[in-house]
Amino acid sequence: MPKLAVIQMSMTQVLQENVDKAVQLVREAASRGAQIILLPELFENYYFCQLEREDYFELAHPVENHPFLNTFQELAKELEVVLPVSFFEKAGQAHYNSLAVFDADGTFMGVYRKSHIPDGPGYEEKYYFNPGETGFKTWQTRYGNVGVGICWDQWYPECARIMSLLGADLLLYPTAIGSEPAEVASPNSHHMWQRAMLGHAVSNSTYVAAANRIGTEKIEHAEATFYGHSFISDYTGEIQQELPEGQEGILYLDLDFKEARKFRAGMGFFRDRRPQLYGPLLTLDGKTRQ
């Protein structure tokens, strides 16, 4: 059975400090037997999307000659681990919230670009990121079939369902989520955040895990405290491991994909799907068009 590790960490505004910390935590996880290791979203810096500032586009880099992706590619090969790595991508004149996946032999499996882009006080992502056009992906790695969405993707059952239809046995979500600015009415609750993903675990009979950041990050007049609560759920939607707010650490869980597949087949969720009736899902207003 492969072992999953989920890393919860704080960040600084110094790229190399964050990369060094991430490398250290990946090494620690691998030393304890982890074979699939998840880091948080955009761990290279503070969560700069709190504000709209032209200067922060300078943080984006192309995949080619990227300042740290090669470091994690070499690390994946050395430690023989699967590493999904979040980064701010520049591609021509476009900018994406992206994720590169490295297999356990160091193979670069490709890039997923975040599909659902939030926009609101404290989370001004539409200013920085083009909507991803890669489509949802499931990666056939050495240790199993892994689907990876990015943060806001985790709220959408369609995303989880498609990755599961593509064969995912494990759904991973690198995340940056925490407090809301005072003018926002929605609650600062990690419970709702977790429940959304636990629903994906239940409806797809699939392991689900999320890696969040922690710490208070102040950029000019803006300030956010990221609430952690990274977790791993089994394929029945039961949380097996969880970290509290404010604590760095690593979660571990052995994944029994064989049992999960048997359970999934028995539940019949995929047998009883009626995709021919789901036309309204392909529209914005719910009206099926010919």
Q: Which has the closest alpha carbon to 209: 144, 259, 131, 135?
A: 144
Q: Which has the closest alpha carbon to 112: 173, 45, 59?
A: 173
Instruction: In whole angstroms, give the CA distance from residue 144 to residue 138.
Output: 10
Contact 263, 205 (CB under 8 A): yes
Instruction: In whole angstroms, give the CA distance from residue 126 to residue 136.
Output: 19
Q: Is 49 a catalytic residue?
A: no
Q: Is 41 a catalytic residue?
A: yes
Instruction: In whole angstroms, give the CA distance from residue 204 to residue 196.
Output: 13
Contact 177, 153 (CB under 8 A): no
Contact 39, 22 (CB under 8 A): yes
Looking at 3, 49, 124, 151, which residue is catalytic? 151
Helix (H, G, I), strand (E, B) or coil at 239: strand
Contact 177, 186 (CB under 8 A): no
Give me the residues paired with residue 208 across strands. Answer: 171, 233
Contact 102, 109 (CB under 8 A): yes
Distance from the Cα of residue 90 to its chain's centroid: 19
Instruction: In whole angstroms, give the CA distance from residue 219 to residue 207.
Output: 35
Looking at 89, 114, 124, 125, which residue is catalytic? 114
Q: Is 258 a catalytic residue?
A: no
**Where in the sequence numbering do the catalytic residues fall?**
41, 114, 151
